[in-house]
Chain A
């Protein structure tokens, strides 16, 4: 039962003696207004040259000046079009379907444009594949308006014209005398580009194409290729899995290119008493681990052993003795038992970058005949090949490469051996980087080919076999840019535009008679044979047979030429496979610590698993390099939305850091502590791989981090002219990414100094109200009544317990809201994975300002929508309470941890719950009654209105808000050099939503429940003279939520989804006991565990 659990947002809260927690529980604003600083010191006050009289004079003068200045209105000019395009009506948004394919994120999206400016990315609900935009994709629109973009082609740091660029590069390409030309590109599963590259090769000869992923999935690709013949990754549909075991795969994050969470979320909502069960084995606390029903922390090398054991337990094949600790072994065994029981409803995934591990996973899934496992549909969004890249760097250093042409990659930043690459680059006769920025790589190249943003480009992507996605420009290029494909066409002397080329390729090879215009309009095209695959839910064996034929046919068409290039050094098995027949291709992979077992024998006998089982557990610390939800591989590091996006797990912004377990941190004398203003400080640690150059990183002690492991994220520590100074945050982890292995044996020692984090996790604490989140487990949910696990709080009325929902105990008069619309927003804690897409969508829709790291640290974040992350103990506290009472403090100086070191600590492996919180739009809103100027008032439709121009900034409302969702504009965040983010330059301001006011200094703001969107929907219906249909009403967050966790609608529409959800047994209000009657409702989290 939920009330037995204790929730905490920060380990600091577990320390009962912490004064800071006490202070935060008592005070709304962490910082006292420092009146004593200037009023307390009489001397300085007396000696101050500004007297009271002076002050009054200045005030008088400035008031008079301001009012005089206000008398004359500015002359505002309006410039209409000369010829207005028919599709553009000023004030009306247009939507275009396009695709992001930046080498790391691939998604079919809708782009909202206003007066020709793209201002927001939305999900393309028509796209079955990757139709959901994650936080980074949502934020990518800001990259278009990046003021540091390269505005024309450049040579040696100065601008040149495209004519000069083309003539000079062409002559150099032709004068290489047979030296190799290398195209080093991001993963580009683009049929038309690949055809162009093939033509480029035909013209110049001696051209090789190397695909390079900054964060490599090479081992996965190798394993899949060895087994199925195509370079790619197996597709998984988690909506078909009832038991999911993940060994180190953050499949709700960026594993295999991401995009699996919406299918996963479908089965996480209890339906007729059933929901999927998710067991996660991992070392870093990831999004997937946070969402798991059972999470087992273990080091990366133990993960390999666990996978081997899983394999042997499920298949019954012996893999030899496995050296796992008792507790872990039994955890793996029970997971294996659950999987065996689930049979084809089970699925295993792994993120271990090891061919053996990946082969083993494929084996297990085939053995299980997993329905969720779909190897016939190949995911093509990762193509990088470690060996090819390594070989390329060696070749460049040896001077064998005549010309290198790079597109969408930044090896000088992302390569672990960047200095080697730089040396090699200087030995080439021609180096061209297609880049939007003067980044680490392009500044070291002879030519920067100014590349357009994806919103200015044409393109196509084959996301999965048979699933195509179309990229179309949504704005005319802002600068003098040309895309890679256009220049390739120029080099091969092809006439016409790339768009025409693209069209001809699609018409000939893909569309098979379907309309090109329709494909552009939809943004997606699925080959007919694959449509049935994506739509089927039952056994898929018959469909798979047909799809194999088609896939092979298509592979010949598009990928034939490409595979051979990307697969340098990897043997390719070309023979057709029947279902579940495996090959014996031997693959040589030099993959760091597994080099001893590098040879893969992917026989069903399970040699791969046996090799895995031989993994020796490292004695020292193992570092897992990962990507953060907000930053990915780091190419959007100049995006202030993403820098300010709080990491879902650590809730830290503007930084990356080493995550350590409490035990390891204690051992190394590394600490985290909160200072007086609520900010988090931490020690630094020095991390070195193989005794090589050490990097110094700040440390965050991460509950749930496996002992003996550490985590560090990519994507930070960028330098170069591509970023504003403010964005050069964190530490670059790529130098530690030796041999493209995400797991490294490291030595960690404490370094001097302390780091100031901008961590929002202690902001706006629970205020001692633990019942803010409700959860239960599936067993109780299925067997007990709602009153047991989702009881309505009671208050005493004449000594009789009365539910707070009763009008008898309400201080307020009820207002009749049964007429017209009454909006409610439902948030399902089961379906919410904490991915944060809604946070960025809200940012973009509502012109939420970016405040920067120092302001974040002062709890002055402006996010209208935050995703609270709560930790809780895995078991009931009843059993632990007795022990816990004995402590005078759980860890730290009291030394109780030393004494009870072996005793399980709440922070060792907490359960995690995510709870998005925005303004709850209380029908009985405490904020409204205290506003002295009636700036915040209630609408009949349920929204709590906020009239910014009326607000005088008393902040009473924020003090009186039990949910802490109101945000105060401490400064002017636009057109202010102190906040030099996107709102400070003309280009960046183009992303602002013209329908929402940009707030000024000194006013309170908060979630408006996207009233601009509900008003628009109503107006559209009025103009058409019809009623609003269910599903038409959306907020930015509910529209961005691909998981279906957020549902918005009109509860007065009795047939709507939201009405159904409001009647649901799981429904509860946040802090119901306060009696605020919110219009945001939550659905109790149900964990698929037997213990609560």
Chain B
């Protein structure tokens, strides 16, 4: 079982397929579904579109508000209902607040001033561009019920799926036994038949008269020679292949102390590689980001979206727990640094030998090479692995093929003009520029 579902509402049919494995779970599922569908109907009744509301919420509100937790601003789950219940304030007041809270505060509105003071006197950004429909969409989204039980369900479903995997093995085992029995039966049948033939005096034709194939083969020296050569060459090829890959860790994918997903950060969120690996621009190493770089974002992102969390289950990882590991390492208690930090001991994946000098800034800044050229589709890697073989041949091949990026670089102007004239080419490869010389990397 690989890819499961994004969420229940998105893909109820899919859910139905999944629940075949376990009837108990499926029952609970159905119950759950019914419950949820009931809620959805009630939401639609509020004339807001929670789907559009969610995207509006994420782009406008999420920087300061969370649904269930106070951040810069207060938690917003069921805000409209709560306001109506506790303060008797309606949609009008809320719209006025959202569109221009400071005006409302200035107007002397008592509750507006209270909210302002409760939140450390930080004024909320005005959103005059939001239409009534937008606001009602957002409020519809905030009125959605919390989805915690679903996660639990997922976990159970997952457990069920794993049981299914075990039964697969059982089936395979049974099949193997079956085939074994069949083979035995065949042998027994043949023996019986032979015995019958013996008893009836029938001579089974031919076998001992012809030279056995292996004997004929052994007697044909030419064939033996050819086979031996082929065998030797083949084994030589494989031995060579084996030894040549010694020390090459292509595909090396160690388990890291914190399950950091490049897929989420570089892929889903589209964070630039050099945002975190900033020293790739100036240094020989790309640098493993220090934890304070993580905290630039994770100060406010303490847990992932439920969808992401669900994705994590298929990798067997709880992203929120991983974020907690980060907090523990950096010494963050949710509000401030405790000073009690533990450095993270990452396992280094790309290990160039000490006798080879490699400089990231040369390739990234001067050469303008994409990180993915050497590191592969990092934005798709849930767990980082070594994409390239990092052998000298691999380096050299690239140096032979790649043109030097000389545009707008005054360093190259003169040398490129002279060299390209000398070699009679328009564009110089790195090799022509001297990039294959031993001393350029080995010193």
Q: Choose among A70, A941, A995 the residue that contacts B357 (Cβ–Cβ < 8 A).
A: A995
The segment out of A79-87, A206-214, A370-378 that lies at the interface is A79-87
For B348, list chain A residues within 8 Å (CB).
76-78
Q: Choose among B247, B289, B365, B438 the residue that contacts A1023 (Cβ–Cβ < 8 A).
A: B365
Bound-complex Cα distance A380 to B303 (A)? 64
Bound-complex Cα distance A324 to B163 (A)? 110
For A949, list chain B residues within 8 Å (CB).
353, 355, 442
For B252, list chain A residues within 8 Å (CB).
73
Contact B247 A82 (CB under 8 A): no
Bound-complex Cα distance A1052 to B76 (A)? 70
Bound-complex Cα distance A78 to B290 (A)? 11
Contact B419 A84 (CB under 8 A): no
Look across to chain A and name the residue whose beta carbon is closest to the beta carbon of B243.
Answer: A67
Contact B419 A820 (CB under 8 A): yes
Contact A945 B411 (CB under 8 A): no
Q: Choose among A79, A950, A995, A1008 the residue that contacts B346 (Cβ–Cβ < 8 A).
A: A79
Contact A943 B415 (CB under 8 A): no
Contact A1026 B411 (CB under 8 A): yes
Contact B437 A945 (CB under 8 A): yes
Look across to chain B and name the residue whose beta carbon is closest to the beta carbon of A85.
Answer: B290
Contact B442 A1027 (CB under 8 A): no
Binary CB contact string for chain A from 936 to 948 against chain B (1 if under 8 A, 0 otherwise):
0101110101111
Contact A76 to B351, CB < 8 A, known contacts A90-B279, A819-B422, A939-B434: yes
- Looking at chain A's contact residues, the main secondary structure is loop
Contact B411 A92 (CB under 8 A): no
**A1015 close to chain B: CB less than 8 A:** yes
Contact A946 B439 (CB under 8 A): yes
**B92 close to chain A: CB less than 8 A:** no
Contact A73 B351 (CB under 8 A): yes
Binary CB contact string for chain A from 981 to 996 against chain B (1 if under 8 A, 0 otherwise):
0000000000000011
**B329 close to chain A: CB less than 8 A:** yes
For B440, list chain A residues within 8 Å (CB).
939, 1015
Within 8 A of B (CB), among A45-97: 67, 70-71, 73, 75-84, 89-92
**A997 close to chain B: CB less than 8 A:** yes
The segment out of B29-37, B105-113, B280-288 that lies at the interface is B280-288
The segment out of B124-132, B166-174, B200-208, B337-345 that lies at the interface is B337-345
For A797, list chain B residues within 8 Å (CB).
none
Look across to chain B and name the residue whose beta carbon is closest to the beta carbon of A83.
Answer: B292
Binary CB contact string for chain B from 50 to 67 against chain A (1 if under 8 A, 0 otherwise):
000000000000000000
Contact A67 to B346, CB < 8 A, known contacts A820-B434, A949-B353: no
**A557 close to chain B: CB less than 8 A:** no
Bound-complex Cα distance A1028 to B330 (A)? 43
Contact B437 A820 (CB under 8 A): no
Q: Choose among B345, B414, B434 the residue that contacts A1027 (Cβ–Cβ < 8 A).
A: B414
**A1001 close to chain B: CB less than 8 A:** no
Contact B443 A84 (CB under 8 A): no
Q: Choose among B289, B408, B419 the residue that contacts A819 (Cβ–Cβ < 8 A).
A: B419
Look across to chain B and name the residue whose beta carbon is closest to the beta carbon of A935.
Answer: B438
**A1019 close to chain B: CB less than 8 A:** yes
**B302 close to chain A: CB less than 8 A:** no
Bound-complex Cα distance A949 to B409 (A)? 34
**B1 close to chain A: CB less than 8 A:** no
For A84, list chain B residues within 8 Å (CB).
290, 292-293
Look across to chain A and name the residue whose beta carbon is closest to the beta carbon of B359.
Answer: A1019
Contact B439 A76 (CB under 8 A): no
For A996, list chain B residues within 8 Å (CB).
443
Bound-complex Cα distance A666 to B353 (A)? 58
For B331, list chain A residues within 8 Å (CB).
82
Q: Choose among A77, A81, A816, A1019 the residue that contacts B361 (Cβ–Cβ < 8 A).
A: A1019
Look across to chain A and name the residue whose beta carbon is closest to the beta carbon of B405.
Answer: A1022
For A676, list chain B residues within 8 Å (CB).
none
Look across to chain A and name the residue whose beta carbon is closest to the beta carbon of B293.
Answer: A84
Please give the distance in Å from B347's CB to the nearest CB on chain A: 6
For A92, list chain B residues within 8 Å (CB).
279, 282-283
For A325, list chain B residues within 8 Å (CB).
none
Contact A80 to B290, CB < 8 A, known contacts A90-B279, A939-B439, A946-B439: yes
**A34 close to chain B: CB less than 8 A:** no
For B355, list chain A residues within 8 Å (CB).
947-949, 997
**A1025 close to chain B: CB less than 8 A:** yes
Contact A945 B343 (CB under 8 A): no
For B86, list chain A residues within 8 Å (CB).
none
Please give the distance in Å from A1032's CB to the nearest CB on chain B: 12
Most buried by A among B252, B282, B419, B443: B443
Within 8 A of B (CB), among A787-819: 816, 818-819
**A1021 close to chain B: CB less than 8 A:** yes
Bound-complex Cα distance A61 to B434 (A)? 42
Contact A945 to B290, CB < 8 A, known contacts A73-B247, A1022-B411, A1025-B410: no
Q: Choose among A82, A947, A995 the residue that contacts B439 (Cβ–Cβ < 8 A).
A: A947
Please give the distance in Å from B247's CB to the nearest CB on chain A: 6
Contact A1025 B418 (CB under 8 A): no
Contact A79 B434 (CB under 8 A): no
**A1011 close to chain B: CB less than 8 A:** yes
Q: Choose among A83, A941, A946 the residue that contacts B434 (Cβ–Cβ < 8 A).
A: A941
For B434, list chain A residues within 8 Å (CB).
820, 939-941
Contact B415 A820 (CB under 8 A): yes
Binary CB contact string for chain A from 339 to 382 against chain B (1 if under 8 A, 0 otherwise):
00000000000000000000000000000000000000000000
**A1012 close to chain B: CB less than 8 A:** yes
Contact B283 A89 (CB under 8 A): yes
Bound-complex Cα distance A78 to B366 (A)? 26
Within 8 A of B (CB), among A916-943: 935, 937, 939-941, 943
Contact A997 to B354, CB < 8 A, known contacts A77-B346, A947-B442, A1025-B411: yes
Contact A80 to B357, CB < 8 A, known contacts A945-B442, A1023-B365, A1027-B411: no
Contact A997 to B443, CB < 8 A, known contacts A82-B329, A89-B287, A1019-B362: yes
**B71 close to chain A: CB less than 8 A:** no
Bound-complex Cα distance A820 to B414 (A)? 8
Bound-complex Cα distance A330 to B411 (A)? 62
**B318 close to chain A: CB less than 8 A:** no
Contact B287 A75 (CB under 8 A): no
Bound-complex Cα distance A75 to B351 (A)? 10
Contact A1028 B254 (CB under 8 A): no
For A1011, list chain B residues within 8 Å (CB).
439, 443
For A80, list chain B residues within 8 Å (CB).
287-291, 343-344, 346
Bound-complex Cα distance A816 to B418 (A)? 12
Please give the distance in Å from A1018's CB to the nearest CB on chain B: 8
Look across to chain B and name the residue whose beta carbon is closest to the beta carbon of A936.
Answer: B438
For B288, list chain A residues within 8 Å (CB).
78, 80
For B366, list chain A residues within 8 Å (CB).
1019, 1022-1023
Please give the distance in Å from A175's CB to the nearest CB on chain B: 40
**B249 close to chain A: CB less than 8 A:** yes
Contact B437 A940 (CB under 8 A): yes
Bound-complex Cα distance A674 to B66 (A)? 86
Bound-complex Cα distance A820 to B419 (A)? 8
Contact B351 A937 (CB under 8 A): no
Contact B343 A82 (CB under 8 A): yes
Look across to chain A and name the residue whose beta carbon is closest to the beta carbon of B392.
Answer: A949
Please give the distance in Å from B200's CB to the nearest CB on chain A: 60
Look across to chain A and name the residue whose beta carbon is closest to the beta carbon of B355.
Answer: A949
Given contacts A937-B439, A1008-B443, 12 further A-B contacts (CB under 8 A): A75-B347, A76-B348, A77-B347, A81-B290, A82-B329, A90-B287, A937-B438, A939-B440, A947-B439, A950-B438, A997-B355, A1026-B410
What would 27 A/B residue contacts be, using CB atoms closer than 8 Å?
Answer: A71-B246, A77-B347, A78-B346, A78-B347, A78-B348, A79-B345, A82-B341, A89-B287, A90-B285, A91-B283, A91-B287, A819-B418, A820-B415, A937-B437, A937-B439, A939-B434, A939-B438, A939-B439, A945-B438, A947-B438, A949-B353, A949-B355, A1022-B411, A1025-B408, A1025-B410, A1026-B410, A1026-B411
Closest 7 CB pairs of A and B: A945-B439, A91-B283, A84-B290, A81-B290, A91-B284, A91-B285, A947-B438
